[in-house]
Structure 1
Amino acid sequence: MALKHSSALPPEMLRVFETLPQPYLILSPELYMLTASNVYLQLTNKTRVEIEEQYLFDVFPKMPDWSSEEGGIAFSLNKVLETLQPHQLPVTRFDIPDRDDPQQLVERYWETSHTPVFDAEGEICYIIHHTEDVTKRVLAERALKNSLYKETQAAATAERLGKQIEKLFAEIPAQIAIVTGPDMVYEFINPRYKTDLFPNREVLGKPLLYALPEVAGQPILDILQHVYKTGETVAGNEINIPLADEVGGPVKDHYFNYVYQAIRNDDGDIISVLSFKYDITELVLAKKRLEQNEKELLALNYDLANANAEVQATNEEIQSANEALHATNQELFRAQESVLRLNDALEERVEQRNIELFNAQAEAARERDRLKRFFMQVPTGICVLDGPEMIFELVNPAYQQLFPGRDLLGKPIMEALPELDGTPIIDILKRVYYTGNTFEGKELLVPLARRVGGTIEDRYFNFIYQARYDGDGVVDGILVFAFELTETVLTRQKEKENEQRFRFLLNAMPQQVWTARPDGSLDYVNEVVCDDFGRSMDQILGRSLQEFIHPDDRQHSSKKWKAALQNGNEFMVEFRLKFHNGEYVWHLARALPLIENGHIRLWLGTNTNIEIQKNNEQKKDEFLSIASHELKTPLTSIKAFNQLMQRTSDMHKLNGFIQKSASHVLRLEKLINDLLDVTRINAGKMEYNMEPFSFLEMLKDSIESMQQATTSHQIILEKADDVIYTGDRFRLEQVVNNLLSNAVKYSPEGKKVLVNCSIHSDGSIIVSVEDFGIGIEEKNLMRLFDRYYRVDNTAMRFEGLGLGLFISAEILKRHHGSFWIESTPGKGSTFFFRLIPDTATKATPVADSDTHYQDDTIIIKYNPKHNRLDVDWIGFQNLESVQHGCFKMQNMLIKNNVGKVLNSNIHVLGNWSEASDWGNTEWFPDMEKAGLRYFAWVHSPSVFSQLSARKSIYALKGKLVIEFFTDVKSAEEWIESV
C-alpha cells in the first residue's frame, strides 16, 4: 500500500520520538500519523500498528460539537498549516474508548499544542502534536467547586439548626439537665435549670451527690439510677425534692412534675439520663394551704356546737356569733371553691404545658437526628472533639475517609493521630478551646499518615475550628470542618516552581528580556533590564521601550516598531539604550509576536548588548585605516629605493639606498610579526620557551639594540640589579623593546630615556622605562593595553598599529607579572612592570586568628568598637596575593558577623589590575552573600591603581554600597555614619 503522506521520518528519528517521555504524535502535512511516542500510545490506548500511516481523524473521529469558533484539533491543525505558526489549544474535552470496554467512551480532558517543523525551503514537513491528559486536574477543580458549594450550604443549614436548638433549650420554661455515667455527672443544664433552682451553686461537671448532697437517701436518686440501669422512661407528678439554694444553706421543699429518659449511643448503650422537670412548688403549697383551711374550719364548727349547748342563755351573743360564723363559713366555702377552680385550671395548664414540652422534646430529638444525618452525609470532613482531651465524639464518613483504616471515635486526638505532636495544630486547637475564638486555616500544611503505621505525608487542608458551648456558655468541645487540598496545592506549587524556574532562566540570561502587550507597552522585564536602567520593575512596566532609546536612534526604531505592531512581522533593530549611569549602550533588539486565533497576544523580545562589538568594529575600521597606511608606507619606500638602486651605478649611493631599504624591510617585518602575535594570542597558540637567563644581560641587549636604531635619544640604564630569571627571554625582550620604542616615539622633543631595574625586598623584579614626552591623560591610561588602541588615533602623528602594548601585556600576564603606568600630560610617562622569580619569598603570616591576620602583604583586624573589619594592603600585589588576602577577609567577615569593611590601599605599591576582573565577577558577589553591606575603599596614590579599583566594581548589582576615598579619615567618617 502506498503512503498517503508526503513526509517520512528516518529510522533514527523514529526511535528518538518513540522513546520520548512525553505524549507526542508526528503528523504529515496531510495529517497522516507517522509515529508516536510510547507514552502517547499508552495514553490513548492504541498500538503502533493502529496509528502508523493512518489518517488522524479515521483513528480519532472529530467530536460533533467542535466548531471552528470554539476551536478543536482540526481547527488548530488548519491554523498551523495556514499561518505556519505553532498553535496552542485551550483545555478540550475528547473522550477515548474505555480500556476494558472499547465500546464505551471515557471522559477525558486535554491540553494540546501543534508545532510545525520546516524543511530547507521553509515548507512544513512535519507537525508535532503534543497533548497532555489534564482530566484529573479538571475533575478535581470541578469537584472542589461543587464540594465547596455543598459545604457552604451544609454549614449554613447546620448553623441554622444549631441556633434553633440552642434557642429552644434556652427559652423553654422547664428545667432540663443531662447527667452522664453511673456517678450521674452533670454534663448539660439549660439556663432555666440554673436560674430557677441553683442561682448560687455550680453543678456543671460535678457528680450529682457531690453537687447536691441533700438528695442522698431521697427517692429521686433511686429513680435516676433505675432509668440509667434499665433504660425505662419514668414520669411522675408532684415529687418532693428537698434542695438548698446554696451549698450549706437551708433545705427547702421543691415539687416537680418530671420525666427521666435514658440517652443511648450509636451502639445502643446507655450513657446518660435526660432530666425534664417542671417546678410546681407554688401550686402544691397552695393546695396544702387549702387543705389546712378546711381542717381549721371543721375544728371551729365542732367548738361552736359545744359552746351553743353550754350558753343557750346568751342567745343574742350566740346568734351574733352564729351569724359571724356563718359569714365566715360562707367566705371559707367561697375561698375553697376558688382554690379548687384554681387547682383545676393549674392542673389543666400544667398538663397542656407538659404536652407542649414533650412535643418540643420530640421535635428537638428529630432536629438532632436530622442534624446528625446531615453531618454524616455532607462530603466535607466534619468531626466533634469533646473536652480538653479533645476526644473524637463524632466523625462523619468524609472525615474518616481522610484516615482510612484508623480508629478515631472515642480516642483523644493525640492517641488517634500521634504524628500531630509538636505541630502547630495542637496549639491551635487548645487556643480555640480555651479562648472560644474560631480559627480558619487556608491551605495549611499538616504532616499526617493516612493509615496506622503509614508514611507521614505533607498534606494540605482548608479547615475551621469552632468552639462548642454548653448551656452556660462554657466551651466543652470543638467542631472541626476539614477539606483536603493536597493535590491542588501540590499542582499549583509545581506550576509555581516551573514559573520560578522559567523566570530564573530569563534572569540568568545575559540579555535584556522583555514582553510587551499588542500596543507595545511593556508588561514584563527581567532583572537585567532593571539593573541596566537602574529602575524597579514597577517603574518600567506599562512604559514603552522607545522612552529609553537614544534620541538620535528613536525615530528609526519607532518607525520599525510601529510597522511591526501593525503587520505582526519580526522586529529587529540596533539602537542605544540609556543606562542608570547616564551612558548610552548599543543593543541589538529582536522581538517576535505570539499570535493566537489570528491576533497578536504579546511580543517577546530580547536586547543584546553589542557595545563591545560596536567598539571592536570601530577599532577594526580605525585599525584597517592605520594598517593600510603603516604597511603601505614601508612598501612604498622599499619600492622607491629599489627603483633608485636600478637607476644608479654609484656604489656609495647604492649602499645608502640598500641600508634605507633594509630599515623599511625591518619595519615591515615588525608590523607583520605584531599582527601574527596578536593572531597567536587570540588563538591561544602563543608559544613560550621558559628557561633561566640573566635578566640584566637581556635588559642591556635590548637597550643596545634600541640605541643603535635611534640617534635622537640617549637611553640610560640608571640602576641595574642582576638576577637569574626563568622565563621566555625572547618574549620579555620584546616587551622591553616595545616600551623603549614607545618612549622614543612619544617623546619627540625629549633627549633621553631612563631605564631602571631593581630587586625588591620580596625578591620581585621591578623594571621602569621613563620618557619626557607628550604624557597620557588619565582617561586613556586603562585603555593603553587594549588591542588596536592608540592615544593619538586621529592625527596619526606617530607610526605603529597600536598592538605593541597589548602584546606586551599578554606576555607579562603569561609570566604572572603585573604592569602599570604613571603619567603627567605634557611632562612624560613611566611604564612599569613587575616579575616574580621562583626564588622570591612567599608571604608568611605573623598573626592568624579570627580577629587578626597579618603578613607582608596585608593586615586585617576586627574592630569590635565599630563592628567592622579594618584592612591595610601593603607593598606590591599580584593576583595570588590579592586572592589570598580577600579570602582571609571574607572568612573573618563571616566569623565576626560584620557587614562593614574599611579597605585601605594607601601603602600599596604598583598595581594589581590583573585581579580586577576576578574581584568584580567573583569576590564582591561572594562577599555580599557573606553579609557585606558597606565597603569604604581608600585609594592608593597610583592613578592607574585607582582606575583598576573602579574597574573591579563595574556593573556590580545588589545591595552592596561601595564608596571611594583618598584618605582614611574621610572613609572612617562615612562608614561610621551608615
Structure 2
Amino acid sequence: MPDAAAPHSSFPADLRAAYPPDELLWGVLETSLTGLALYAPLRDAAGHLIDFAIDLLNPAAQQLLGQPARPGGTYLAHYPQALANGVFAFYRTVVESGEPGELLADYQVDNLNKTMQLAARRVGQRLLVSFGAAPAAKAAHAEAEAEAERQQFQALADQVPVALGLLAGLELRVVAANQRLCAQWGHAPGQVLHRPLLEAVPELRGQGFEALLHEVMATQKPFVGTEMPARLLRNGQLTTTYYDVVYQPFYTAQGALQGVINVAVEVTAQVLARQRLQAPADELQAANQALTAAVAAVEQARTETERQRRQFEQLFMRAPAAICIFEGPDWVYEFVNPGYQQMFYGRQLLGLPLLEALPEVAGQPLVAILHHVYTTGETFEGREVLVPLARTAGGPIEDIYFDLTYQARYNEQGAIDGFVTYAYDVTEQVLARRQREAQQTQLQEVFEQAPVAIFVLRGPAYIMEVVNPAMSELLGPPIAELLGQPYFEAMPELAGQGYPEILAEVWRTGQPFVAQEQPARLARHQPHETGYFTFVYQPLYDAHGRLTDIMGMAVDITTQVLARQQVQSLNEELAVLNEELQASNEELHDTNTQLLRTNADLDNFIYTASHDLKAPIANIEGLLLALQQEMPAAGRVGQVPTMLLLMQAAIERFGRTIGHLTEVSSLQKAHAQPATPVSLARVIDEVQLDLAPLMLQTDARVLLDVPEGTILLFSEKNLRSVVYNLLSNALKYHHPDRTPVVRVTYWAQGSYQVLAVQDNGLGFDLARGEAKLFAMFQRLHTHVEGTGIGLYMVKKMVENAGGRIEVRSEPEQGATFTVYFPS
C-alpha cells in the first residue's frame, strides 16, 4: 500500500501555513456548494479494502443525499449499487494508488436519480470525495459515450462465432446481444435489447442464473460453467438445453464496473449424445477450446475497442463541452463532437458551411464575432450569449444561451485556416436562474410589503433566518440586529413570558400554534405597558418531510384591545350615566310639563291683557278726540296743543305695543303652520310695493340677484314677514350722507337655501350690540321710530322652521343679514 503521508498539494507552503488547517477545513465543509464526504476505509483480516465508514457529510452533501452529518453504517450498506456502477471500485483505486481521480456515475436511490460527477483523493488514511450533479452537457456526453460503447460491443458481438451479450447494472439490462445469444434465449433481438434480462427472457426465472450474475458483479470475479442446464423456448415449447458459459466482469476506462459479459456455447447436442452414447470426452475438449478461443476473441476485441476509445478521447470526443472545428473562410464544419451534434439533433452539420447548416444564424451579432476571430486571430470568450437557433431541422427558432469560446486555428504556414468552437448550452441554467430571480424578487416584494409581521426561525435553536420590515417594527430592533441571532437572545424579554414553551411544543409535535390577543411585554414598551398580539407559529418541512423551520406571522392588535377595554369601561360608565340621565329626563319632563303649563298661562295672560286693554285704550282715544273737538280755540293756548299731540302719540304707541304682544303670543302657533312652496322673487316684489313710499322718500335703490323660479319651502306669511322686516330696516336705518343701496342675493349652499340682505346704512358694533340685536323690545338706534320686536320675530320664525340667521356689520359701514332656510 502506498505511503499514507499527506498527498501533494497544489497550494504553496507559505499559503497553507497562513491558515489554521482545522479552521480552513471546517470553513470549506460549511460553505462548499458541492457535496463533500469523508470516508474511512474498512479492511478485512487479510488487509483487503471491503467497505468504507461514513465519517462526515457537509451540509451540501446532507441536502443532496438526504442524510444527516453522520448517518452511521457503512457506505455499501447505504449504497449497494456502488458495486454495480463502479463507484466503489473507483474509490478503492484512489485509496490504493494514492492518486486523485474523477468519475461520472449514475445514481438511482430513493431520493437521487441522476448522473453524478465525482472527484476523490486520499487525505491521510481517509478518502475525501467531492460530488454534485453533472452538468447537462456532461450527462448527455456520458449517455452518448455509453451508447457508442454499446454499439461497438454490439458490432463486435455480431462478428464472433459464439453467443455473446452484455448485461448492465443490478437489473441486468440487456444492452447488447448477438443473433446467436438471442437464438439461444428463443427471442428476437427487438424483444430483449434494453430490457432487464428476466423481463426479456422470463423463462430464466428461478433457474439460478440471476444469483450467479449478481455474484459476479459483487465479487468482480469471472464465473465459468460447463454443461449448465437451462429450460428455454424451442419451437414454442420449454426445452432443457445445455451450455458452457463464461460470465466476465466488464469495466469502463476509469475502472468502474459496468456489467457482465455473457459468453455461451450451446452443448445440448454433445450432452445429449454423451448421455445417449457416452461419447468420448474429446468433444467436450473441443467445445472448451472453442470457448477459450471465444473468450480470447472477446478480450482482443475489448482491447481494440479500448485503443479506439482512447484515440477518440484525444480528439475531444469525451470533452464535457460541445466542440466543433470550422475550416476555411466559408466556415465549413470539419469536426463535430457528440456534445455539439446533440444540441442540433437530426440536423446535418459535417461538410456544410455554417450559414448553410444553420441559416437562422445569418444576420445575428454572432456572425460579426466569428468574422472578427477569423480575420484577427483574437480569441473570443462570452458568457450566456444569446443565439436564436432551431434545435431540429424545420423546428421552431428558440432563444438558446451559450458560454462560448472561439479560438483561431493556424496551419503550418502560420495562417488562420479555421477556428475551434467550445460551447456550453446554459439555456436551462439561465432560464432557471431568471425564473428563480423573478420568483425571489416577487416573493421578496410580497414578503417586504406584507401587511403582517413575518419571520422564519431555523432549527431547534430558533435562529432568525428571515425577518420582514413589519416584524422588525413589531419587535423593535432593526432587521440587521435580528438576522442570524437565536430568537430568545435577540428578544430576551420574551424568555420569561411562556414563548419558549410554546415554540418547543410546536417543534415537538409539528402542529401549528394559533394565539388570539396574546399579551407580551417587549423592550420597546413603556414600563407597565403590555402589548397584545394575534399570531401563528407554523412548522415548515423540507422535501423529505422533516421539520426544519418555524414561520411566525403576527399582527399587533394592542390598539384594538385597549380600545375595546376602554369602550367596555366607557360602556360601564355610560350605563351609570344613562341611569342618571334617565332620572334627569324624568325630572326634565316634569319641568317641561310645568313650563308648557306656564307658557300656556302666559299666552292666555297676554291674549287676555291685550284684549282687555284694547277697549280702554279705544275709549281713551275717543275721549281725547272728543276733547280736541269740544275744546274752544281760546282753550288751545300755551302747551295744551303739544300735550294733546303727545297724548295722541302715546295712545298710538300703546296700541301698537298691544298689537305686538299679540303677534309674539302667536309665534308659537305660527311655528305649527305647514311649509308650502313659495316663490321668493314674487314675495320680494310684493314687499317692495308695500315699501314703495319709503323707497321714494329715501331715494333708495334695491338691487336683486334672485333667479326667477326660486322656490322656498316655507310658510308664505312668515317668509313675507322676514323679507319685510329686513328690507324695511335697511331703508329706515340708512346713512344720512349717502343714498341707500340694498342688495338682495340668493344662492344654494348644501342643505340650505340662503337669502342675504346687504345695506350701506348706519351699521352697528357687534361686539357691543349683538346680544340685544335679536332681543325683544331692544333697539340699537333710537332716532328712528320702532318697537324693537321685528328682528326678534324674524329670528324666531326662521329658527322654528329649522334654519338660522347671521349678521355682519361695522359702524358707519352698513350691515348684512344672511338667512339660511332649510331645503
TM-score range, shorter chain: 0.3 to 0.5
Decide which structure has the larger Cα Rg and report it: 2
When normalised by structure 2's length, the TM-score is: 0.32
TM-score between the two structures when normalised by the length of structure 1: 0.28
Highest relative contact order (Cα 8 Å, sep 6+), 1 or 2? 2
